[in-house]
Each structure stands twice: as C-alpha cells, then as structure tokens.
C-alpha cells in the first residue's frame, strides 16, 4: 500500500468505520508518539498505514484497501515502546485477545435480536404507522398492564 493513498479522515465515530471509499480507523491514544493500523489488508505491515494525530489524543486515517471482514490491530508507539493492541471499539473480534474484524454495524438484524430477547420477557411491541415503536407491559397471564 502506498502511503500517498492514505488521507486524513472526515468520518465521525471510533474504531473501524466502513465507508464507500474504504475504512476509516480512529483510536484514542493520548500518550502515543506514533500509531499504525496493521491488518490483513496490508499483510500486517507495521509501517504502511500510519494514523495522523488530531492533536487532541485522537489518531485517525482512511485506508482505501481495507474492507469488511479484514482483521486488524493498532500498533501504538509510546514511551514504553511499541504495543500491539486490539481496537477497544471493535464491533466484532476473533477472540478476546485476538484481532478486531472490520464489520458493518447496519448488517446486524436488530429486529431478530430484540424479538429473540423479548421471547422470555413480559413485553410486547406494537407497531403503529403514525408513531414510533411502542412498548407495552404485560402481566404474568399476558394481559396488558396500565403504563
């Protein structure tokens, strides 16, 4: 990956943020001297994707070669030397001590997740076209309770 393909990002948020032109990586490392993102998209090269300091403890970079499904970590150079760290904002990981995985948050089906979670609870959803989602409480026999 050529360094001239990396740009200062304009994305809000933290972690790995997929965009139409690649992925924006953003991390808070206030005591870092240099920060790099390493991953499967750059063959774990420790110098090809430097993050740019935003002068407030935040570091970020746009990486056009990175895509959903790629694994990554941050290589943070500080007073104690280089540290390889998993992204604290990673939305998906290989395991607790492994790598972050670039993941599109909109790909998650929240309706299925919430309905599965609610099966064991005494709550129900009522969908109305004129108002947002409404929660109603039910008693142990399934009768609606007053709000």
**11-30 confidence digits (pLDDT tens):** 678 999 999 889 999 999 99
pLDDT digits (tens, 9 = 90+) for 80-91: 999 999 999 999
- 82-101 in b/e form (b: 16+ CB < 10 A) is eeeebbeebbbeeeeeebbb
The predicted pLDDT at position 147 comes to 59
The backbone torsions φ and ψ at residue 4, rounded to the nearest 5 degrees and listed phi first, read -75, -5
Q: Convert the pLDDT of each residue in 48-97 to its tens digit.
A: 999 999 988 999 999 999 999 999 999 999 999 999 999 999 999 999 88
Provide, rounded to the nearest whole percent, the portion of the chain with pLDDT above 90. 54
């Amino acid at each position: 990956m050529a360094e001239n393909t990396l740009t200062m990002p304009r994305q809000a948020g933290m972690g790995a943020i997929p965009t139409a032109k690649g992925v924006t990586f953003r991390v808070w490392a206030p005591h870092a001297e240099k920060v790099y993102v390493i991953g499967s998209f750059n063959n774990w090269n420790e110098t090809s994707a430097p993050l740019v300091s935003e002068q407030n403890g935040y570091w970020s970079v746009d990486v056009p070669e990175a895509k959903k499904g790629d694994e990554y970590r941050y290589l943070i150079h500080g007073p104690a030397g280089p540290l390889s760290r998993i992204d604290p904002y990673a939305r998906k990981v290989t395991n607790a001590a492994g790598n972050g995985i670039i993941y599109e948050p909109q790909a998650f089906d929240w309706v299925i997740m919430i309905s599965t979670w609610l099966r064991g609870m005494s709550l129900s959803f009522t969908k109305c076209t004129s108002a947002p989602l409404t929660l109603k409480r039910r008693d142990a026999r399934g009768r609606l309770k007053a709000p």
